[in-house]
Amino acid sequence: MKLTAIDISIIFGYLVLTVILGFWISKKASKNIDSYFLGGKSLPWYMLGLSNASGMFDITGTMWMVAIMFIYGVKSAFIPWLWPVWNQVFMMIFLAVWLRRSNVLTGAEWLKTRFGTNRGARMSHISVVVFALVAVIGFIAYAFEGIGKFSVMFLPWDLSATVIGIHISSERMYALIIMGITTLYVVKGGMYSVVLTEVLQFIVMTISCIIIGIIAIKTVSPEQLDAVVPDGWKSLAFGWNLDIHWSSFPDDINRVLNEKIGTDGYELFSVFLMIVIFRGILVSIAGPIPGYDMQRVLATRTPRESALMSWFVSAVLFIPRYFMIAGLAIIALVYFNPDTLMSEGSLDFEKVLPFALSNFIPVGVLGIILAGLIAAFMSTFAANVNAGPAYIVNDIYKRFINPQASQKKLVRLSYISSAVMVIIGITVGFFVSSINSLLQWITAALFGGYAAANFMKWIWWRFNGHGYFWGMIAGLAASLALPKLFPDMSVIMAFPLFILPLSAAGSLLGCLLTPPDDMNVLKSFYRNVRPWGFWEPVYSEVLKEDPGFIKNRAFKRDMFNSLIGIIWQMTLITSPMFLIIREYKQMIYSLIILAITSVILKFNWYNKLD
């Protein structure tokens, strides 16, 4: 199905409105780099929360989540723990407050508050800049793959072309055009345009999700769904194995589905969950990667608002998003047509989302929903484009090349850096063929390499800048080398077997073979951030100067609240799932647990926010 003139007009009108809005508010962003990258730290927490939620509501990730629900059913709610999706819980409970107290512009600049300005600190600074830029390029490539695959199934024009001897498919050309439009307003408007357009995009996306949920409920009956899904598909319960075996489709399709479960690495589901829980705790306490999530935290007005912003992301994101995910998954299952999912001679389950939309959403409504999905893409892409150049401008150019540069010059360099990051990310995107493989590499390999050094920096006073540098470099090198050295190794298994040991060894050796950091720097950091962990020598020194200093003894409370928060967040995901598939008893259980965990968080977290 191709779009009608009405649908195309709605999408085109939305894109024009977004660009106009971005340019209209660009004057605010051009004052200085603090305004350009952090909105002058004047935006309210709920707007930043909506913006952050919109940035996470990306079309590529949504296509992936629809695909995994199609295959794994309700148990697919566990698979995003690979990210881990509940890092926002750790952020809201304590990490956002710790980060915001630093009052800096970027994650690399934050390291000065932890390690000072010695040689080790400068090395750590360089390592996190390199990691941030690699991560942003990876996300841009990930977005490029998703938007192209999505657009080519709807937009009616064949835009394939040969440029300087290189054939560019319609899929790639659509991605280039939409990314180019988004880049226009992001480069010009900075954080102000990103946040304000993302608030608009989130509203459009939420309306779209509700419409899809209603259509799914009216289109698919419980009996129709039961006829096509295997035993266990509608349940959260699992044993040692996943216990899902497809048999309702023709044999060749069933074989592909069952082989997909094996190649994804989720068949031994208990092992998978043990690994992702272990990894998730490390990665979550390590804190957000130096990207748009951290940028939103640093852009809040106060530490308390940073915690509320992180809570708001989960509170508003999951219910509408899973209306869409579950709705599209069940429509595609009941009206499954394998011919529409073929890509280069094989079934491509990442096309489930566009297949369901193109065949079951009415004219006009489809235009609104596609505008919303394109809005979701633009949000994620915009957030990354705005985050990456901050490291080039603030942490490379301003710090090492031209410390006296004027604000006007820095903002202009921000424009150029944004464009360069987009070009590099798109170039990498040309070599990507699977959303799932790239997503697994980013979450399991790249983020896994980040975990050890960043976990230690919070909890251990002796961990220094040299240890951080070598831990980050070892983790980054391991994640980049993994596809070449062990092409057949699952990236999920690679984390405990390869990436974590190397990054932890680099962290510990780099730290223990070099002197501790300056005690004055450590005292300043500890007094300001007040983390819990192994800080006793620093705490003793602080007490000598300030006998009234109160040590952070909230470790047990924070861990308990984090556990409750993970359960709370999970019910935000399962409740709309069970509603869409008409498992009302399970939905009621989810809502009861949601209410109980909300009350606990109200009294044990919200009431105790500083």
CATH of the domain at 275: 1.20.1730
CA distances (Å), origin 318, targets 164, 205, 345, 439: 44, 12, 34, 19
Q: Can you tell me which residue has the tokens 């920096």?
A: 457
The pLDDT-based confidence of 438 (bands split at 50, 70, 90) is low
Residue 216: pLDDT over 70: yes
State the Cα angle at 118 between 117 and 122, rounded to 5°: 70
Question: What's the whole-number average pLDDT of the chain?
Answer: 83
Highest mean pLDDT of the ranges 94-108, 191-205, 230-244: 230-244
Residues 135, 497: Cα–Cα separation, whole Å:
22
What's at 41, amino acid-wise? K
What's at 518, amino acid-wise? D
Percentage of the chain beyond pLDDT 70 is 86
Q: What is the pLDDT of residue 96?
A: 92
Nearest to 60 by CA among 140, 134, 2: 140
In which region does residue 432 sit, left (phi positive, over 0), alpha (psi from -120 to 50) or beta (all else)?
Answer: beta
Q: CB–CB of 467/510 below 8 Å?
A: yes
CA distances (Å), origin 208, targets 203, 340, 364: 9, 23, 12
Residues 65, 79: Cα–Cα separation, whole Å:
9
Q: What is the pLDDT of residue 494?
A: 82
Highest mean pLDDT of the ranges 76-90, 115-129, 426-440, 527-541: 527-541
Q: What is the pLDDT of residue 344?
A: 60
Tell me which of 419 and 195 has the higher pLDDT.
419
- Burial class of residue 467 in the structure, from the number of CB atoms within 10 Å of its CB (0-12 exposed, 13-18 middle, 19+ buried): buried
Residue 222: pLDDT over 60: yes
Q: What mean pLDDT do residues 222-232 have? A: 94
Parent domain of 265: 5-433+556-608
Helix (H, G, I), strand (E, B) or coil at 162: strand
Task: Give the phi and the psi of residue 517 in degrees, each rounded to 5.
Answer: -70, 165
Tell me which of 160 and 31 has the higher pLDDT.
160
Tokens in use for 586?
Answer: 């399970």
In whole angstroms, what separates CA 403 from the centre of its chain? 32
Q: What is the pLDDT of residues 380-412, one digit of tens each?
A: 676 677 667 777 877 788 877 888 888 778 778
Q: What is the pLDDT of residues 278-295, one digit of tens each?
A: 888 988 898 876 666 677
Q: CB–CB of 482/494 below 8 Å?
A: yes
Residue 275: pLDDT over 90: no
DSSP string for 472-487:
HHHHHHHHHHHHHH-T
Tell me which of 9 and 562 has the higher pLDDT.
562
Residues 64, 518: Cα–Cα separation, whole Å:
46
Q: What mean pLDDT do residues 530-556 have? A: 94
The pLDDT-based confidence of 426 (bands split at 50, 70, 90) is confident
Residue 448 lies in a domain: no
Q: What mean pLDDT do residues 444-455 have? A: 79
Q: CB–CB of 390/129 below 8 Å?
A: no
Residue 233: pLDDT over 80: yes
Residue 343, beta-bridge partner list:
346
Residue 475 lies in a domain: no
Q: What is the pLDDT of residue 591?
A: 97
Residue 36: pLDDT over 60: no
Tokens in use for 178?
Answer: 């939409």
The pLDDT-based confidence of 105 (bands split at 50, 70, 90) is low
Q: What is the pLDDT of residue 71?
A: 93
Residue 550 lies in a domain: no
Tokens in use for 20?
Answer: 């106009």
Residue 508 lies in a domain: no
Residue 460 lies in a domain: no
Q: What is the pLDDT of residues 44-65, one digit of tens each?
A: 888 888 877 876 777 777 888 9
Residue 507 lies in a domain: no
Residues 45, 148: Cα–Cα separation, whole Å:
33
Q: What is the pLDDT of residue 37?
A: 47
Least confident of 315-329, 379-393, 575-589: 379-393
Q: What is the pLDDT of residue 34?
A: 52
In whole angstroms, what separates CA 518 from the centre of its chain? 35
Residue 195: pLDDT over 80: no
Residue 308 lies in a domain: yes
The pLDDT-based confidence of 432 (bands split at 50, 70, 90) is low
Q: What mean pLDDT do residues 566-594 have? A: 97
Residues 436, 146: Cα–Cα separation, whole Å:
10
Count up the domains in the chain and report the number: 1
Q: What is the pLDDT of residue 185?
A: 59
Residue 61 lies in a domain: yes
Residue 435: pLDDT over 70: no
